[in-house]
Amino acid sequence: MSRTGEFQIIDRFFTHDAFGEWQSQGVGDDCAIIDTGAGRIAVTTDMMAVGTHFLPTARPEDIGWKALAVNLSDLAAAGASPRAFFLSIGLPERDDAWLEGFSRGLMALAAETGCALLGGDTTRTADVNGTRAPVTISITAMGALPAGKGLMRKGARPGDDIWVSGTVGDAYAALKHRWGHWQLMPDAAEALFARMDRPTPRLALGSALLDLATACSDISDGLRADLGHILERSGVGADLRWEAVPISPALRSLSVKAQQEAALSGGDDYELVFTAPESARLRIEQAGLLTDTRLTRIGKVTEGITGDNLTVRTESGAVVSTAVGGFDHFAG
Ligand code: ADP
Ligand code: MG
Residues with CB under 5 A from ligand 2 (ion): 30, 74, 218, 220
Q: How far apart are CA 32 and CA 28, in angstroms?
A: 8
Q: How far apart are CA 70 and CA 300, in angstroms?
A: 27
Fill in the DSSP letter of residue 14.
S
Q: What percent of the chain has pLDDT over 70?
A: 95
Strand partners, 81: 144
Ligand nearest to the CA of 12: 1
SS3 category, 296: strand
Mean pLDDT over all residues of the chain? 94
Residue boundaries of the structural domains of the chain: 21-145, 161-313
Q: How far apart are CA 301 and CA 240, in angstroms?
A: 9
Ligand 2 centre and the CA of 92: distance in Å?
Answer: 28
47-97 pLDDT per residue, tens: 999 999 999 999 999 999 999 999 999 999 999 999 999 999 999 999 999
Strand partners, 161: 276, 300
161-313: what CATH class?
A: alpha beta
Q: Select from 1, 10, 16, 66 the residue to mutate for testing ligand 1; criterion: most ligand atoms less than 8 Å from CB.
A: 10
- What is this structure's pTM? 0.94
Left, alpha or beta for 250 (phi > 0: left; psi -120 to 50: alpha)? alpha
19 CB under 6 A from ligand 1? no
21-145: what CATH class?
A: alpha beta
pLDDT (0 to 100) of residue 2: 44
10 CB under 6 A from ligand 1? yes
* pLDDT band at residue 1 under the 50/70/90 scheme: very low
Rg (the chain; Cα; Å): 20
* pLDDT band at residue 27 under the 50/70/90 scheme: confident
Task: Return the residue whose CA atom lies nearest to atom 1 of ligand 1.
Answer: 30
231-287 pLDDT per residue, tens: 999 999 999 999 999 999 999 999 999 999 999 999 999 999 999 999 999 999 999
Length of the chain: 332
Contact present, 249 and 180 (Cβ < 8 Å): no
